[in-house]
A and B are shown apart, each in its own frame.
Chain A
Amino acid sequence: MTLNEFLNMGGYAFYVWTSYGLALAVLLINVILPLRQRKKLLGDINRAAKRVRRNT
C-alpha cells in the first residue's frame, strides 16, 4: 500500500479519518482533563493551607 492509497482509504478517506481523528480527540481529552484537574486541585489545596497558616 502506498502512502497515497493509505490516506485515500479506497475513497472513504473522509469517513475513516474523521472516525479515527475523533477517537484520538476523545482519548486525548480523557487524559488531559484529569491531568489538569489534578494540578488545579493540588494548587487549590496548597493555597488554602497557606491561608490557614498565615491566619493562625
Chain B
Amino acid sequence: MFNNFFHKMASPRYFYNISGHLIPWLAASCALLFLAGLYYGLVKAPPDYQQGDSYRIMFIHVPAAWMSMFIYVVMAGAGAIGLIWHIKLAEVMAISSAAIGAWFTFLALVTGSIWGKPMWGTWWVWDARLTSELILLFLYLGVIALYNAIDDKRTAARAVAILALVGVVNIPIIHYSVEWWNTLHQGPTVTKLDKPSIHLSMLIPLLLMAFAFKLYYAFVVLMRARCEVLERERHTVWVRELAEKK
C-alpha cells in the first residue's frame, strides 16, 4: 500500500491535484492560528518589566528565525531525496522552499535589527544570532543564484541539492564559530535578543505564531511547487488541458 502511495506521490499530476485541495484548508487554519497568536501576543500578554511593549517583536522575529533554519534543512533533505532517488517532486519541493526560506531569513534579520534599536541605540549589532542569520541569508541567495544561472532545470536542481547539502553541514559549524566569536568581542551591552524570562502568557502566543508560520510555509510552498510543476510539465497533455479550461 505504501508503495502505491509513493508511486502516486511521485506523479506530478497527482501532486498538483491533491495540493490544490490541501491549500485552502492549510491557509484557513493558518489564518486562524495567526489571529489567535496575534490576539494573545499583542493584547493578552502583559508588557515585559524590562523591555516594555517592544518585546512583542519577538513573536515575529523568533518564529521567523526558527522557520529560516527549518526550511533550509527541509530544502537540503528534499534535495538529497531528489538526488539519490531521482524523484522529480523532491527537486520541486527543494527549489520551491528556497525563496520562502530567504524571505523568512530576511524578516528575521530586519525584525531583529528593529528590536535592537530601542535596546542598544543602533540599527545593527554583530550579535551572534543576527550574524548567523546574515550568513544563512547568503547561503539561501547562493542557492537561488545558482539555480537561476543554470539553464537546464533538472541539472540546476541537482547542482543546488549539492550546494544545499554542503550548506547544511556547514550551518552548525558556522553557528558555533559565530557564537564563539561573539563571546570574544562582546559589545558594550549584553544581547537582549534572548526571549525575556518566558512567562506562560508569552510562551503561548510564541508557540501559536510558530505553528501558524509552519502552516503558512506548508501552503505557500505547495503554491510555488504547483507553479514549478506546471512549468516542468508544460508539454504534457494534462497541463495543456488544464490551461485550456481556464
Q: B53 and A9: CB pair below 8 A?
A: yes
A residues at B contact (CB < 8 Å): 1, 6, 9-12, 15-16, 18-20, 22-23, 26-27, 29-31, 34-35, 37-38, 41-43, 45-46, 48-49
What are the 7 closest A-B residue pairs judged by CB atoms, nearest first? A10-B53, A34-B223, A12-B54, A45-B243, A46-B243, A9-B53, A10-B52
Q: B223 and A19: CB pair below 8 A?
A: no
User: Among the listed stretches B78-86, B102-110, B137-145, which one makes contact with chain A, having 4 or more residues with CB under 8 Å of it?
Assistant: B102-110
State which of A6, A10, A11, A38 has its C-beta within 8 Å of the C-beta of B230. A38
State which of A23, A35, A46 has its C-beta within 8 Å of the C-beta of B246. A46
Known: A23-B64, A45-B240. A31 touches B223 (CB 8 A): yes
Q: A42 and B103: CB pair below 8 A?
A: no
The CA-CA distance from A42 to B216 in the complex, in Å, is: 24
Nearest CB in chain A to that of B104: its residue: A26
Scan B74-118; emit 1 where CB is below 8 A from any A CB, else 0.
Answer: 000000000000000000000000011001101100110011011
Nearest Cβ distance between residue B70 and chain A, in whole angstroms?
16
Starting from the known contacts A19-B60, A30-B103, A37-B227, 11 additional A-B residue pairs (CB-CB under 8 Å) come to: A6-B43, A9-B54, A12-B52, A19-B61, A20-B42, A22-B110, A29-B103, A41-B230, A42-B243, A43-B243, A49-B240
Known: A38-B230, A45-B230. A16 touches B54 (CB 8 A): yes
The CA-CA distance from A6 to B87 in the complex, in Å, is: 50
Q: List 14 A-B contacts (CB under 8 A).
A: A11-B52, A15-B114, A15-B115, A16-B53, A19-B114, A23-B111, A27-B216, A30-B100, A34-B220, A34-B227, A38-B226, A38-B227, A42-B230, A43-B243
The CA-CA distance from A30 to B64 in the complex, in Å, is: 14
Interfacial chain A residues near B118, Cβ < 8 Å = 12, 15
The CA-CA distance from A43 to B245 in the complex, in Å, is: 11
> Does B175 sit within 8 A of A, measured CB to CB?
no
Nearest CB in chain B to that of A38: its residue: B227
Nearest Cβ distance between residue B111 and chain A, in whole angstroms?
5
**How many residues on B have C-beta within 8 angstroms of the other chain's C-beta atoms?**
38
Nearest CB in chain A to that of B224: its residue: A34
Nearest Cβ distance between residue B145 and chain A, in whole angstroms?
18
The CA-CA distance from A36 to B244 in the complex, in Å, is: 17
Nearest CB in chain A to that of B27: its residue: A31
Nearest Cβ distance between residue B49 and chain A, in whole angstroms?
11
The CA-CA distance from A16 to B227 in the complex, in Å, is: 34
Nearest CB in chain A to that of B231: its residue: A41
Nearest CB in chain B to that of A30: its residue: B220
Nearest Cβ distance between residue A11 and chain B, in whole angstroms?
7
Q: B54 and A15: CB pair below 8 A?
A: yes
Q: A23 and B60: CB pair below 8 A?
A: yes
